[in-house]
Amino acid sequence: MKLTGAQIMMQVLKEEGVDTIFGFPGGAVIDIYDELVKTDIQHILVRHEQGAVHAADGYARASGKVGVCLVTSGPGATNTVTGIASAYMDSIPIVVISGQVPTHLIGNDAFQEVDIVGITRPCTKHSYLVSKTGDLSRIIKEAFYLARSGRPGPVLIDIPKDLANQRIDYNGTEQVNLKSYNPTYDPNTNQLKKTMELIENAKRPLIFAGGGVILSKASVELTEFARKTQIPVTTSLMGLGAFPANDPLWLGMIGMHGTYRANMCTGACDLLISIGVRFDDRVTGKTDAFAAQAKIVHIDIDPTSIRKNIPVFIPVVGDCKKSLGHLNSLTDNLDLNNINKKRVKWFDQIRQWKKTNPLAYKQKDIIKPQYVVEKLYEMTNGKAIITTEVGQNQMWAAQYYHFDQPGHFITSGGLGCMGFGLPAAIGAQVACPDKLVVDIAGDGSIQMNTQEMATAVQYSLPVKVVILNNGYLGMVRQWQELFYDKRYASTLMEHAPDFVKLAQAYGALGLRATKPDEVESVLAEGLSSPKTVIMDFLVEKEESVYPMVPAGAPITEMLLV
């Protein structure tokens, strides 16, 4: 059977279970698009290629599947780089398909030619330039396998225009066979037995979970492990939702803007069981002071992450779900009564730390951003999928919206990419059409990709955007206030758009609250609307995010007010 490269591509994508592609057409992929419309794969036309990658990212996180985007060559391809880098930092499985100039023009500086494989090599798990149509099915299969297996991440496939048109004999796809790529899923059981011995003897143990727990779908196993061993739990920003926030063992998020009790527990623990984390600098603060009294166990599927930033007492290379499952099977032999006797002082200390409340604030005449997020949490019963932009809005969302299940907090953690939240919300809404999806945004970051409002409206996606509008680039302003004598250099956002009118211009619903007593009614109207909605909350202009650990300080040395 003779098929074109584009036809082969569509067939393999369907074999991989692809039901949605986010993209933007152009000359180098026009033949692929011509074939795409003949299939039942849904295509979501974004307004900017960066939006396509973020939407595929949000789709992947919300659905647990591989997100896919399709763009043209040259500027279409280069516009994806920020989104690819964000997915790479957060280990999100996406496949980015870019068009390329015809093979005979590669290297000739042809119109809209760029070496996107070379450009993205540092921020992808792998990048392919297809050189033969006969290789296309194998490469697509490999790309999806690489994206979803081991430590997940983005993979790019660059397809020259002539190969999409070329007809070849096609006999079906072959099985993936990557001899040099063998992720370790099964942990070393001896290392896990040693871990259980440490748990039995520990007086001040702590579990630190990260995004790897969510990616490996190990939240149930983590919760079981914590409850069986009665060990308190903290998570990184990326790990929020891996452990239920309504559980008595929950301490809140760790790190630069983590809770007082989580950071203090980390500084005082004698055993830190770290699962699916990479010890990012925003978590550790001063590295030689991080968990300085503790023996550290590090469980991760990526061996290069272990001992990369923090010394480890027991390294465990393996899948989080399998590792936790095995640990749970070993807990049957624990003498919990004896263990709890050793930890009486530890839990007394934690109760004392919990009585302090640095997250407290006073709602007076001007809307506090924390109040908006708290009201949003109350009015959604904590069930919404929350995406965020990056900055203060992101941290307030992490602190005041309490996540009880995985896949409900979607944010650009490692790269900290402004403009992420709206397109990610679009991707999440496409993946979960029956769920409420809310982007918590700042007035600065929302403007990075506001054009994607048109995408949401075109496809009747009822995404809600909650803007915490303080008229500043808030997080940078906060640093300038604390460390640069309030020299607000280029952080005042003058001449911002009227977000209500902007929503109306796109055919969406626009609402605004200027006083605290308007917050609840605006949220009620916006959340109940079947339309795409922007809710603009004019909040305290110079409100700061606390607690805060200054750069280079130990995480136990927090600014609290």
The DSSP code sequence of 121-146 is GGGSSEEEE---GGGHHHHHHHHHHH
Mean pLDDT of 289-318: 97
Residue 273 has pLDDT above 90, yes or no: yes
Tell which residue, 230, 233, 200, 202, has the closest CA to residue 219.
233
**CATH code given to domain 2-169:** 3.40.50.970
pLDDT at 336: 87
Q: Which two tokens stand for residue 507?
A: 């055919």
Residue 494 has pLDDT above 90, yes or no: no
Tell which residue, 125, 134, 135, 122, has the closest CA to residue 96.
125
* Residue 291 CB-half CA count within 13 A: 28
Percent of the chain topping pLDDT 90: 96
Gap between the Cα atoms of 74 and 116, Å rounded: 8
User: Which band of pLDDT confidence, cut at 50, 70 and 90, is reported for residue 358?
Assistant: confident
Q: Which two tokens stand for residue 456?
A: 């949401």
User: Which band of pLDDT confidence, cut at 50, 70 and 90, is reported for residue 561?
Assistant: confident
Burial class (CB in 10 A: 0-12, 13-18, 19+), 392: buried
Q: Which two tokens stand for residue 38?
A: 């003949």
Residue 58 has pLDDT above 90, yes or no: yes
The least confident of 169-178, 300-309, 313-322, 446-455 is 169-178
pLDDT at 197: 96
Domain with CATH 3.40.50.970 in the chain: 2-169, 369-538
Is the preceding omega at residue 311 within 30 degrees of 0, hence cis?
A: no
Mean pLDDT of 401-416: 97
The answer to whether 143 and 116 are in contact (CB under 8 A) is no
pLDDT at 175: 86
Active site amino acids: 49, 111-112, 161, 475
Domain with CATH 3.40.50.1220 in the chain: 189-355
Mean pLDDT of 316-337: 94
User: Which band of pLDDT confidence, cut at 50, 70 and 90, is reported for residue 539?
Assistant: very high
The answer to whether 369 and 536 are in contact (CB under 8 A) is no
Q: Which two tokens stand for residue 209?
A: 């979970």
| CATH, domain 369-538, list 3.40.50.970, 3.40.50.1820, 3.90.980.10, 1.10.287.1770 | 3.40.50.970
The answer to whether 21 and 68 are in contact (CB under 8 A) is yes
Q: What are phi and psi of 528, to 5 degrees?
A: -85, -10
Fold of 189-355: Rossmann fold (3.40.50)
Q: Which two tokens stand for residue 31?
A: 């033949």
Residue 344 has pLDDT above 90, yes or no: yes
**Distances 57 to 94, 144, 172, 282 between C-alpha atoms, Å:** 7, 14, 29, 22
User: Which band of pLDDT confidence, cut at 50, 70 and 90, is reported for residue 174?
Assistant: confident
Helix or strand (DSSP H, E) at 478 = helix 474-483
Q: Which two tokens stand for residue 162?
A: 């002539």
The answer to whether 348 and 203 are in contact (CB under 8 A) is no
**Distances 397 to 375, 393, 470, 551 between C-alpha atoms, Å:** 11, 6, 15, 21
Looking up tokens 């807990």 gives: 331
User: Which band of pLDDT confidence, cut at 50, 70 and 90, is reported for residue 333?
Assistant: confident
Q: What is the CA radius of gyration of the chain?
A: 24
**Distances 32 to 6, 112, 391, 444 between C-alpha atoms, Å:** 5, 17, 38, 36
The least confident of 14-28, 57-71, 167-181 is 167-181
Mean pLDDT of 109-123: 97
pLDDT at 173: 79
pLDDT at 1: 83
Residue 172 has pLDDT above 90, yes or no: no
| Global model pTM greater than 0.75 | yes
Tell which residue, 25, 77, 18, 17, has the closest CA to residue 53.
77
**Mean pLDDT over all residues of the chain?**
97
Greatest Cα pair distance in the chain: 74
The tens digit of pLDDT for each residue in 11-52 reads 999 999 999 999 999 999 999 999 999 999 999 999 999 999
